Structure 1
Amino acid sequence: MFDEFPEPARSQLAAAFDEGRTRPEWCFAEGRARLAFWAPFAGADPVIVWQFDPGPDPAAAAELLRRGLRTTGLDKIMYDISLAPGLTPVVDRAVEHEALTAAGFVMEVERLTLEWAAGTDLPEDPGRLTYRPAREMRPDDVLALLMRISEGSLDHDTQVEVATAGAAHEARWMYDDLLNRRAKPGWFVVGHLGDSPVGLVAPDDHSIAYIGVVPEHRGQGYVDDLLAHGTRTLAEAGLQRIVAGTDVGNTPTANAFLRAGYSEVGRLFRYYWRAS
């Protein structure tokens, strides 16, 4: 089935298959439309429409989406459209947008795409926190921390997962996802103030994948400490470009990235499909 996809998608799918992140039965083609689902790590269910080329006909592409969802038996999936600032999917990716909405997808959240580039001043880590690699901590302790971070979170996906599946399920999924990221073992860390965990930051091989502070320590600037640590970790590893994202409505996190020297380079429009 990968042969139905043009390059570079074909090679990307083959590499993802080798990593257990996609399968031939998750890939579909019809006419000029192409579709592939992707899981974040081996053994996980697909969570995102990863390769989607709708071709010129939104109705045919919508039918391909519906067929893929029926065949895989998924109960939820998401899809991202990334654009430069000022552009909108309704106008600038009209065929894609029409196909998604016709298949039952709804655009629920707009996210900022942020970037730190080499040559930008590195954020200062004030040294208030000490850091322990999450892999060296008891899994139950990290899971408990993730559950506490989810309390009052302004992140749309976190809010939806906690409301529909529960905080424990959301924390378990996030923990598994972060441990399976391409990253050095010591990059994913928990910041402590004395013996008290304040929050965590999880860089991977290209991005700040996750950052969060527990409720009782919010409003004291600790997100800046965690972000400085994560950014410096990747910069010192030689990355020339670090990407990140946060919901447009999550103003505190967005402002933390801007203070750390990140700049907005685009917008990501996230669409969701749910069986219900």
Structure 2
Amino acid sequence: MTSSSGAEACTLFDEFPEPARSQLRAAYEEGKTRPEWCSAEGQARVAFWAPFRGADPVVTWHFDPGFDPGAGARLLTRGLRSLGVAKMIHDISLPPGLSPEVDRRVEHEALVGAGFRMEVERLLFEWRAGTDLPDDPGRLRYRPARELGEAEVLDLIARIAQGSLDYDTQLELSTVGAERDAKAMYDDLINRKAKPDWFVVGYTGDLPIGLVVPDDHSIAYIGVIPSHRGHGYVDDLLAHGTRTLAEAGISRIVAATDMDNRPTAAAFTRAGYSEVSRLYRYYWRAS
């Protein structure tokens, strides 16, 4: 990996074409990437970023579409080795009907060459201003998560994870356990670009039903406690999250769920979201 001091970040980021250059500069200012996490070889460009300041890098950032897949694989391999992380995730987004093996062949081959495997396909939805807002039936009252103790929110996240159809959640439960999975999820959600009162717990009476977390442009997380599933509460939570963002002036709201998570996909469709692309999620794990 290329290594340097923070003062040289702009020079390193200049090696990346737009829009990656501007995105990397913004991520650097937010503490989400570092100059030593960026590298180049010929036309190949690879960078890593963290979901929030202080977190380990978990996602590959950018591939120059003109690079040699062998060079990309070498950059990824060296980077993963130097970072010392246990796992890495990378998403390729494509319109429905296209495939990464054909339509993003170079990027796909670089990932596979570095030991990544494509393990899950996700659906990407969007809601745009001008679309009718979903009705909020008013069955739930909402409390900001920041008003609750961290332990209470962690317990809710762990309960929601049970029986989840989300691949990543199933994987984390089977490998690190419910407690560590809930803490990682909590840290991610609490550090997102959302107003403090947007991360909310929905209640009926004094009983918590589920969570919804709108961030600055997306529905970052939504989930219902198992004992309350099957009563349409996901629609209430999604309506609240969508209205929160729309009323804040967000004109395009995005959300994603696994293809196999048909109940959540159906909820997005009912709320006026349209499928716009597929996310192909690749995983790398240290041996």
The answer to whether 1:75 aligns with 2:86 is yes
Partner of 1:50: 61
After TM superposition, which residue ranges in structure 1, 4 or more long, deviate above 2 angstroms?
A: 52-56
The answer to whether 1:115 aligns with 2:150 is no
Partner of 2:30: 19
Offset at 1:64?
Answer: 1.2
Offset at 1:221?
Answer: 0.5
Which ranges in structure 2 are unaligned for 5 or more consecutive residues? 1-11
* Residues 43-80 of structure 1: per-residue CA shift (max 9 Å, x gap): 10011001222633111211111111111112210101
Partner of 1:151: 162
Question: Which residue of 89, 93, 101 corresponds with 1:90?
Answer: 101
Quote the Cα distance in structure 1 between the aligned partners of 2:281 and 2:154.
26
Partner of 1:243: 254
Offset at 1:244?
Answer: 0.3
Quote the Cα distance in structure 1 between the aligned partners of 2:31 and 2:175.
27
Which residue type is aligned with residue 34 of structure 1? R
Partner of 1:183: 194
* Residues 100-147 of structure 1: per-residue CA shift (max 9 Å, x gap): 111110000000010111111111111111100001111110000000
Q: 1:154-233 residue pairs with structure 2 within 5 A?
A: 154-233=165-244
Native 8 Å contact 1:115 1:262 kept in 2: yes
Partner of 2:43: 32
Question: Which residue of 14, 37, 58 corresponds with 1:3?
Answer: 14
Quote the Cα distance in structure 2 between the aligned partners of 1:92 and 1:9.
20
RMSD of aligned C-alpha atoms?
A: 1.0
Partner of 2:266: 255
Q: State, as a whole percentage, how many aligned pairs show the same letter.
A: 72
The answer to whether 1:272 aligns with 2:276 is no
Quote the Cα distance in structure 2 between the aligned partners of 1:26 and 1:52.
14
Which ranges in structure 1 are unaligned for 5 or more consecutive residues? none
Q: Which moved more, 1:112-121 or 1:9-18?
A: 9-18
Quote the Cα distance in structure 2 between the aligned partners of 1:54 and 1:10.
14
Quote the Cα distance in structure 2 between the aligned partners of 1:73 and 1:53.
24
TM-score normalized by the length of structure 1: 0.98
TM-score normalized by the length of structure 2: 0.94
Offset at 1:3?
Answer: 2.7
* Residues 232-261 of structure 1: per-residue CA shift (max 9 Å, x gap): 111111111110000000000000000111
Secondary structure, counterpart of 2:223 in structure 1: strand
Which residue type is aligned with residue 32 of structure 2? R
Secondary structure, counterpart of 1:53 in structure 2: coil
Native 8 Å contact 2:85 2:286 kept in 1: yes
Secondary structure, counterpart of 2:14 in structure 1: helix
